[in-house]
A and B are shown apart, each in its own frame.
Chain A
Amino acid sequence: MPIRCPQISLSAPEGGEGRGEVGEIQASPDCIAHLTLPVADATGPLPLPPQAGGEGKLGGYRPTRRWILVAAAGGGLASLAPKATATEAAMADAIRELIGEAPLERGKVKLELPSIVENGNAVPLTVSIESPMTEADHVDSVHIFNQKNPQPYVAAFHLRPRAGTARVSTRIRLADSQRVVAIARLNDGSFWSDSADVIVTLAACTDQ
């Protein structure tokens, strides 16, 4: 008797699994959804290193999730939303639009993001720039870009010398594990940048 592959949602109630996440159904000839079990006696801090197989299409890039996944009958569709993603090119274009032909120097800027986040819907971000914040030498603006959200822009902060310190914090959404770039424009027209790579367990933007 042919077994119909169950169409199941193995993700959090509101969906939100990105492509290639643990939880995506691995098609197999006998139509049994593969289970990815946590290592019961794992030692060491999380995230656990990827186990062989089961990490999804994108290979051993993501840590194994700590879910016990169960096949269930009925209900729910696998996450099928068309995924709108910006590309590196879109981020590069956005950056070029900001800096023009000027060189992008590394230094002065410190972009703080957690290296791994559980929830891409609320990722804390802090940017601080070494600057005396005087009339003669201060940060004019700080621009944040991302690599894989539907849009490359995140925020643009505009500061005055009377900020005292060039340090801002917010919370952002990340649709996938990706790189985030912060670019500071100083009053002398120079651009300085820093970037951070973030692994995102639960993606934002693509949930429904």
Chain B
Amino acid sequence: MRRLFGVALALVATIAVAAEIAPEARRSGYGFASAETRVMQDDDTANPGMLWVSQGEGLWTKKAGAAGLSCRDCHGDAQASMSNVAARYPAFDAALGRPIDLEQRINLCRTEHQRAEPLTWESEDLLALTGFVAHQSRGLPIAVDDNPELNDRSTRGALRIRRAGRRRAGALSDGARPWHDDRNPGGAPLIKRGPVLFVRVVVLIGEGRDDGADLGDRVMLDL
């Protein structure tokens, strides 16, 4: 157990170091993908993620919930209204008093405005909608708020769930990392819910290599 703790501390230190990457030194995950992955991502008709973006486009206009509203009813054309939205997440939600990611934001809209059931985590529909919304920010730089409350929660001593969010640039999110099972498309890490509370630590390694190494080789540490 002591060895484990020592390892955990080392990882926390690594996270702290990872969080200190200067803005100008940050690079998109695209630059770390292998040549084959890049070719697949560049071609919208060969990129399987686009199938879910297309599915999300359909969901955008689908009315849901007791209010009988679709996303479009409030937000209009996604290309205009959702531009740069994904780039700002995770964001600090003042009402909830904690950080939320894009999936949670979509579900908040569903429950509060559409008065519908929230979409299940990792479900096809949620992945599709999230992918579609994120797609509207393709190519835009990450613009997560430098809110001290957001940072405090992210790096506070205890180990927290953290995504490789800072490495995203528009469409390329966690879901496009090369080693993920292509049965699970979309932008969410595979977090399993269970009766035991556990914490997953994501360690970013493999930085600084511009030779096709895949970004964000990660370790899942279940405590």
Please give the residue numbers on chain A whose beta carbons come within 8 Å of chain B beta carbons, in ascending order: 12-14, 16, 38, 45-46, 65-76, 114, 117-119, 121-124, 201-202, 207
With a CB–CB cut-off of 8 A, which chain B residues contact A14?
Answer: 181, 184, 190
- B211 proximity list for chain A (CB < 8 A): 45-46
Distance between B63 CB and nearest chain A CB, rounded to angstroms: 35
Are the C-beta atoms of A121 and B182 separated by less than 8 Å? yes
> Which B residues between 131 and 181 are near A, CB-CB below 8 angstroms?
178-181
Chain A residues touching B, majority SS: loop
CB distance from B180 to the nearest CB of A (A): 8
> Range of interface residues on chain B?
35 or more
In the bound complex, residues from chain B placing their C-beta under 8 Å from that of A13 are 190, 192, 220
A84 to B57 CA separation, bound complex (whole angstroms): 40
State A66–B209 Cα separation when bound (angstroms): 11
B223 touches A72 (CB 8 A): yes
Binary interface encoding of chain B residues 194-216 relative to chain A, with 1 for a CB under 8 A from any of its CBs, else 0: 00001000010110010111100
Alpha-carbon distance A175/B37, docked complex (angstroms): 19
Contact of B212 among A46, A70, A121 (CB under 8 A): A46
Q: Quick check: is B40 within 8 A (CB to CB) of the other chain?
A: yes
Chain B residues with Cβ below 8 Å from A75 are: 198, 222
- The reply to whether B179 and A12 form a contact with Cβ atoms under 8 Å apart is yes
Interchain CB contact under 8 A, A46 and B40: no
29 residue pairs of the A-B complex, CB under 8 angstroms, read A12-B179, A13-B190, A13-B220, A14-B181, A16-B181, A45-B211, A45-B212, A65-B217, A66-B205, A66-B217, A67-B217, A68-B205, A71-B4, A72-B221, A73-B4, A74-B222, A76-B222, A114-B34, A114-B35, A114-B36, A117-B36, A118-B34, A118-B214, A119-B179, A121-B182, A122-B40, A122-B48, A123-B36, A124-B39
Residues of A within 8 Å of B203, CB to CB, are: 68
List the count of A-B residue pairs having beta carbons below 8 Å apart.
72
A124 lies within 8 A of B36 (CB): yes
- Minimal beta-carbon separation of B79 from chain A (angstroms): 29
Please pick, from B36, B179, B206, B219, the residue contacting A202 in the complex, using a CB distance under 8 A: B179
Which residues of chain B are within 8 angstroms of A12 by Cβ–Cβ distance? 179-180
B12: shortest Cβ distance to chain A, in Å? 13
Residue of B nearest to A123 (CB): B36
Q: How far is the CA of A185 from the CA of B213 in the complex (A)?
A: 38
Say yes or no: A72 contacts B206, CB within 8 Å.
no
Q: Cα distance A12–B184 when bound, in Å? A: 13
Tell me whether A121 and B34 are in contact (CB under 8 A).
no
Measured in the bound complex, the distance between the Cα atoms of B1 and A65 in whole Å is: 27
CB-CB under 8 A from B11, the residues of chain A are 70
Compute how far the CA of A72 lies from the CA of B179 in the bound complex, rounded to whole angstroms: 22
- Docked Cα-Cα span, A13 to B211, in Å, equals 25
A residues in contact with B4, CB < 8 Å:
71-73
Best-buried of B35, B39, B181, B209 by chain A (most CB within 10 Å): B181
Other A-B pairs beyond A13-B190, A16-B181, A118-B34, 10, CB < 8 Å: A12-B179, A13-B220, A68-B203, A71-B4, A73-B223, A74-B222, A75-B198, A114-B34, A119-B178, A201-B179
Is B3 an interface residue when CB atoms closer than 8 A count as contact? Answer: yes
Q: A173's closest neighbor in chain B, by CB?
A: B182
A69: chain B residues at CB < 8 Å are 219
A181 to B35, CA, bound (A): 23
What are the interface flags for B35-74 relative to A under an 8 Å C-beta threshold, 1 for contact and 0 otherwise?
A: 1110110000000100000000000000000000000000
A126 to chain B, nearest CB (A): 11
B181 with A124: CB separation less than 8 A: no
Residue of A16, A76, A118, A122 with highest tally of chain B CB at under 10 A = A118
Contact indicator B3/A70 (Cβ below 8 Å): no
